[in-house]
Structure 1
Amino acid sequence: MNASQVMKAVKQWFKLSNYDVLEEITVDDLSYEISRRVALHKYDFGNEEHPRHERHLEEEAKIMAGHPLLASSTEKLPPSAKKKNPLTDSKLHVRHMTINDISRYEARLRELNLLQRTSLLPDAPSTPVSKDAGIRRLTDIDTFDPGHPLYFWLNIRLVTDEEVVEHIKRMLPQWRKEYDVGEPDIGSFRFGLSNVKKVINMRIIPMLDLLFWAKRNDVKISYEQFSRLLYPNDSEIIRGGAQIKDTDKPFAEKVLTREFDRLFNLWLSKNDYMMDTKVANAMKMNEKEEDEKKEAK
Structure 2
Amino acid sequence: MSPTFVVVPQWQGSISSRAMRLADGAEAIRGDLPESATRTVDVPAEAGDAQDTGIHRFSTLLMVRERMYLTLRSVTDWALTIGGDCGVSLSAVAHAARRHPNDLAVVWLDAHAALHTPETSPSGAFNGMVVRAIAGEGTDGLALAEDSRVPLERVIIAGARDIDPAEADLIAERGIVTVPVEDLGSPDALVAAVRATGAGQVYLHIDLDVLDPSAITGLGDLYPFGLAVETLTGLITALRADFGLAGATIAGFAPASPEDAGDDLPSILRIIGALTR
TM-score (norm 2): 0.22
| Bigger share in strand | 2
Higher Cα radius of gyration: 1
**Which structure is higher in helix share?**
1
| Structure with larger RCO (C-alpha < 8 A, sep 6+) | 1
